[in-house]
Amino acid sequence: MPSTPESSGPLEVRTVRRAKDAAKGAASLAVLGASSWVAAHGTPSWEERIFDWLHNVPRFVDYALWLPMQAGSAWAPPVAALIAWRVSKSWRPTVGALVTGWGGWWLAKVVKAQIERGRPHAELPEGVVRSTAITEGLGFVSGHATVAFACAATLSPYLPGRWRYAGYGLAATVGLSRVVVGAHLPLDVVGGAALGLSLAYGWHLAVGVEARAAHA
């Protein structure tokens, strides 16, 4: 009789700490540092031009971006954690989404207090920013961009390719929307994205990324 293949046995969960996470984390911190330095010294003319181009779109675009923009709110980390658990059944991305997402939300406030750059209405000439834009609080860095990119990068190793790209695409949409609605200048978003990414890569280095290997 033909032999029956033996069972491959249970799956052993291994964790790895990847050099590329360290490199990406260092690069993210470098971007955060450079953008912080520029933001602390005012608003460059090129940044004002980019803001003007993105902000002067039809008002219906603001409304269309409202829903995806919530992916950078304080409610986003628990939603990301739920997705992480459904996809991976692992505590690492699940807890990580909460730690990096909510941690990023509060760390963004710390950075704001250090840089003390205002929102677009305070940094740009009168009339450039629509009257409906947010006027309260400080601008650099964008907390929404921080949360969105932190969650996207924390979940990324555990998602299939197309969903990984979708996560980063949604995070980029969050950042773009904050400029379109007049809540942030472009460098606020760049700095926020860099902060969120650095937190996510730091999380991967701290707890490892799971790699599943079958054994007999």
Place 2 in a pLDDT band, splitting at 50, 70 and 90.
Answer: very low
Query: What does the pLDDT look like over 191-202, one tens digit per residue?
Result: 999 999 999 999
Cα distance between residue 216 and residue 5, in whole Å? 11
* Residue 14 buriedness (CB in 10 A; 0-12 / 13-18 / 19+): exposed
Q: Retrieve residue 151's tokens.
A: 């969650």
pLDDT at residue number 15: 87
More confident position, 158 or 216: 158
Q: Which CATH architecture has domain 27-210?
A: Up-down Bundle (1.20)
The pLDDT of 156-184, averaged and rounded, is 93
Answer whether residue 34 shows pLDDT above 50.
yes
pLDDT at residue number 128: 80
Place 12 in a pLDDT band, splitting at 50, 70 and 90.
Answer: low
Q: pLDDT averaged over the chain?
A: 89
Place 131 in a pLDDT band, splitting at 50, 70 and 90.
Answer: low
pLDDT at residue number 212: 57
Place 8 in a pLDDT band, splitting at 50, 70 and 90.
Answer: very low
Query: What does the pLDDT look like over 140-163, one tens digit per residue?
Result: 999 999 999 999 999 999 998 889
Which residues on neighbouring strands pair with residue 138, listed in sequence order?
Answer: 118
Closest by CA to 139, choosing from 204, 198, 184, is 184
- Position of tokens 């650099």? 140
pLDDT at residue number 11: 54
Q: What pTM value is reported for the model?
A: 0.89
Percent of the chain whose predicted confidence (pLDDT) is above 70: 91
pLDDT at residue number 22: 96
- Cβ atoms within 10 Å of 149's Cβ, excluding its own: 33
pLDDT at residue number 161: 82
The pLDDT of 63-80, averaged and rounded, is 94
pLDDT at residue number 216: 34
